[in-house]
Structure 1
Amino acid sequence: MKMLLPPNWDKPGKGNDKLCAKFGKKVYYKTGFSLNYRYYEPPAGNGKLMPLVLYLHGADAAGDDNELQLSMHDIGTFLVRDDLAGRYPCYILAPQYGEMKHWAMPEIKDLLWDLVDDTIKDHPDIDVNRVYIYGYSAGGVGTLRLIKERPGFFASALSICGATGSWNIENLLKTPLYMVHAADDTIVKATYRTKETGLPGNYGSADIYDRFGGEHKDMIYDEYPPGFMKEHFGVNPHCSWVAVSDLRNLKIWEWLFSQKLKDSDRWLGIRQH
């Protein structure tokens, strides 16, 4: 059953189909389960190490076509835009989960980790100190979940209109994190604080920043004021990924790709399998 989309939902721009065509299409199999994914390999870097980016789609792109995770919005193909002229050369993994599933489901999550680990193992030109993750909506939720589960694994993370539960919430301090949200988002709220307790049951982007922003020097939060997404982009307030994929907002991507781990000793065993 396809998701019923709210009014003023974001649609891909002209030429997105050509950007999607830059990605290969595969299915990853392991332990009796499978995961559709698209992948992008950058032009040869003349011996230079390249970053790896894991991109997680939202619930509106769930399915089994291995297409929607890129074709639903421009945010999935942003890094391969022609007008960026190779500004962010990198490998990209863009998996897709099926309908009625989500990134935190054990069989999906385990396949994700195995896919990332195997990709690194199979590509010696991937810079293990520059592995990044980003996602929107349910993909923002998945991004926060994964950096809590493997703290320090990613060099940095970008969560767009995401949220998370209280489980291992302190682990968010261990990964440089950029969050984006619209204040009037009613689908995934920026804050879940209640008047009764003053505390959130779940943590929206604003709640995370309110709790940890003061002690996490590598945590950044951009909140768009009420009406901003409609006024500037003509879209539903939940679609804050549209602002992130605007060429006038490259500061977010510059920050993401500027982060680098200082110690890759944890990777030494992966490529020896």
Structure 2
Amino acid sequence: MSLPTDWDKPSPENSILCERFQYGVFDYSGTLPYRFFVPETLEKVPLVVFLHGADAYGDDNELQLSMHDIGTVFAADSWQKKHPCYVLAPQCRKGRHWSGLLEGNRICVLVKRFMEQYANIDPERIYIYGYSAGGVGCLEILKYHSEMFAGAVSICGATGFRDLSNLLKTPIWLIHAADDNIVKASYRENSVVSTHLGSRDIYAELKDKHPDLHYTEYEAGDLKEKYGINPHCSWVLAGRDGQVKEWLFSNERC
């Protein structure tokens, strides 16, 4: 994937956080590389599943965390002191997509295996979040595995109309930049009919029906003018937003 020159780059501190994640490979109708973080507690704690974007596709089991800071935010000391949790970060191989049914099933089986291995994972507090292709994957996985997840954050993601009503079953926070031209916040501008739904479109479709749906849209120019980064990189601001993270961890499955 050819990246724009104004693409977000990780901070120097991110490499330290990456080292806290162990390595694994899951074999289920093919192999799935993954990294995982284990908290220093025996109490019942949440598990967070992180899905990276297309810029980290591969099989090195590194890029999903090293590409940006967003994959490691829940492993930071400041967060772990308040909310200790496990973090699971699989890596999607090139030629595959998180939105595929096989990949979604594979992730959910991995989560179940992980819960068997670590008995102090709270089954009522399994969360999922991701950016770009990973944001798409979050929404597609929720459509068919809503029973597993207590909450989700989809950053610069999108989806289609198929089984859209299934998203009503899970608390969701959508995040997007208004001027994102890689995955658009809206595919309905100028009344153009599209089978794609950006975050703004999803919110418009579901806001009057969904019991717990939130949407944050960064104004056009904010990311480029204030931070010098591409408007698609809304995960930079999302990762710094304590309100979103606190909201995510406030959810429990009923």
| TM-score tier after normalising by the smaller chain length | over 0.9
- AA aligned to 1:258 is S
> How far 1:127 sits from its partner (Å)?
0.6
- AA aligned to 1:139 is G
CA distance in 2, matches of 1:86, 1:76: 18
1:234 partnered with 2:228: yes
1:179 partnered with 2:174: yes
Among 232, 237, 241, the residue aligned to 1:243: 237
Q: For residues 120 and 80 of structure 1, do their structure 2 counterparts lie closer, same or farther at Cα, with a shift above 3 Å needed?
A: same
Among 252, 260, 267, the residue aligned to 2:252: 260
- Provide the aligned C-alpha RMSD in A: 1.4
**Higher Rg:** 1
Residue 111 of structure 1 aligns with which residue? 106
Q: Is the partner of 1:142 in helix, strand or coil?
A: helix
Cα deviation code 1:24-79 (max 9, x no counterpart): 01111124x1000000111023xx21101110000000111000000000000111
Is the 1:191–1:200 Cα contact (8 Å) retained in structure 2? no
CA distance in 2, matches of 1:58, 1:241: 10
Among 195, 200, 203, the residue aligned to 1:206: 200
1:50 partnered with 2:73: no
Residue 209 of structure 2 aligns with which residue? 215
CA distance in 1, matches of 2:147, 2:80: 30
Q: Is the partner of 1:25 in helix, strand or coil?
A: strand
Is the 2:17–2:72 Cα contact (8 Å) retained in structure 1? yes
Among 59, 79, 88, the residue aligned to 2:83: 88
Q: For residues 244 and 194 of structure 1, do their structure 2 counterparts lie closer, same or farther at Cα, with a shift above 3 Å needed?
A: closer
Is the 2:39–2:80 Cα contact (8 Å) retained in structure 1? no
CA distance in 1, matches of 2:203, 2:28: 37
> How far 1:88 sits from its partner (Å)?
2.4
1:38 partnered with 2:35: yes
Task: Give unmatched runs, 5+ long, in structure 1.
Answer: 263-273
CA distance in 1, matches of 2:154, 2:219: 18
Residue 266 of structure 1 aligns with which residue? none
1:20 partnered with 2:21: no
Percent identity, aligned pairs only, is: 48
TM-score by length of 2: 0.96
CA distance in 2, matches of 1:224, 1:243: 9
- AA aligned to 1:239 is C
> How far 1:163 sits from its partner (Å)?
0.1
> How far 1:194 sits from its partner (Å)?
5.1
CA distance in 1, matches of 2:129, 2:79: 18
> How far 1:112 sits from its partner (Å)?
1.1
- AA aligned to 1:50 is V
Residue 7 of structure 1 aligns with which residue? 5
TM-score by length of 1: 0.89
Cα deviation code 1:103-137 (max 9, x no counterpart): 12344233212101111122221111100000000
